[in-house]
Each structure stands twice: as structure tokens, then as C-alpha cells.
Amino acid sequence: MIKSELVQRIAKRNPQLFQRDVENIVNAILDEITNALARGDRVELRGFGAFSVKRRDARVGRNPRTGAPVSVEEKSVPFFKTGKEMRERLNDGGP
């Protein structure tokens, strides 16, 4: 599912809301999650999962074409861990 499909589904379930308002709400939520991760905070949505940031240390990689060593800088990567309720729904075929 892409963001526009999410907006359409939420708007369909909530006919009292305009689609542009739903889009603004979805964008605001995603922006807040992104901003929190950029600050190094953890974002937990109970029953859904938790977003956090993990650090990958600098290392020496290899160019797949030539096999030559390439230095890879340290970087931060987003990480998502599913919540218990989501795992149960996925594995038990819940609603």
C-alpha cells in the first residue's frame, strides 16, 4: 500500500472528513515520526510496532563489479519492530 491508497481508505471509512484533511493528518503523523527519529527518539505505537534508529559503524566494503575495497561511512538507519498484536494478527490470520 502506498500513502495515497492509505489516505483514500481512511477517507472512505470516514466520510465526514475531506480527503485533503485526511491527507494532511497522514502527512502530519509521518512527519512527526520522521522528526522524532531524526532527533534520535524512539516512536512506539502500541499494538502496531516501534520505530527506532540504529547506527551502522564505518566499515570497508567491496565494489561488487571489481572487488576493490570501498570505505563505507558510518550511518544511521531506521529500524521497525512489529508489536505483539500485529505479529499475532499476521501469524494467526486475524481480522
Stretch 14-36: mean pLDDT: 96
Statement: residue 20 has pLDDT above 90 = yes
Judge if 10 and 28 occupy the same domain. Answer: yes
Domain total for the chain? Answer: 2
Q: What is the DSSP string of 18-86?
A: -HHHHHHHHHHHHHHHHHHHHTT--EEETTTEEEEEEEE--EEEE-TTT--EEEE--EEEEEEEE-HHH
Judge if 63 and 90 occupy the same domain. Answer: yes
Judge if 22 and 63 occupy the same domain. Answer: no
Judge if 37 and 11 occupy the same domain. Answer: yes
Stretch 70-81: mean pLDDT: 96
The 8-class DSSP code of residue 8 comes to H
Judge if 76 and 63 occupy the same domain. Answer: yes
pTM, 2 dp: 0.77
- What residues make up the domain containing 59? 42-95
Q: What is the pLDDT of residue 94?
A: 60
Nearest to residue 76, comparing CAs of 48, 46, 34? 34
Average pLDDT, the chain: 94
Judge if 59 and 95 occupy the same domain. Answer: yes
Residue partners of 46: CB distance under 8 A and separation at least 6:
83, 85
Judge if 37 and 49 occupy the same domain. Answer: no
Statement: residue 28 has pLDDT above 90 = yes
Judge if 27 and 59 occupy the same domain. Answer: no
